[in-house]
Amino acid sequence: MPKILVLNGPNLNLLGTREPEIYGHTTLQDINDRIGKRAAEAGIAVDFLQSNHEGVLVDAVQAANHKYDYIIFNAAAFTHYSIALRDAIAAIEVPVIEVHLSNIHQREEFRHTSVLAPVAMGQICGLGAESYMAALEAIICKLKG
């Protein structure tokens, strides 16, 4: 059975209450539940991890190698400056799809650059919770060959 890892970075545990005008009212648990349901329908196992700590996420990316088929990753603020996460992604063979709830290219200038994008398989942003679902559907298509 294919396996995917869904990683979420800092402050995403506050979804639903944090800046709802930007991030909406959907909680991270709501997103995880939707991903889990659709993944099960597609015959895919899924694990979830959210951390506010960069090192925990680096460890998770490294540990994912040869254990998962894909990673869906919303690195949140770490997207824009974490060379450690960028290097961890580059060091593994597992394809990573970078996701963001908001369109980072329409926000503050400092959010326009992703240091992860050059080593990610792709980037999906601006669709709210549907960014995660679009990444999952892309993985389903890739797994079907």
What pLDDT is stored for residue 57 in this prediction? 98
What pLDDT is stored for residue 110 in this prediction? 78
Give 8's strand partners.
Answer: 50, 74
**What separation, in Å, do the N-terminal and C-terminal C-alpha atoms of the chain show?**
15
What pLDDT is stored for residue 52 in this prediction? 98
What pLDDT is stored for residue 60 in this prediction? 98
Can you list the domains of the chain with their CATH numbers?
A: 3-144 (3.40.50.9100)
Q: What is the pTM of this model?
A: 0.95
Instruction: Give residue-wise pLDDT tens across range 16-30.
Output: 998 887 778 899 999
Residue with tokens 């694990």: 47
Q: Which residues are catalytic?
A: 23, 100
What pLDDT is stored for residue 127 in this prediction? 95
What residues of the chain score a pLDDT lower than 50?
A: none
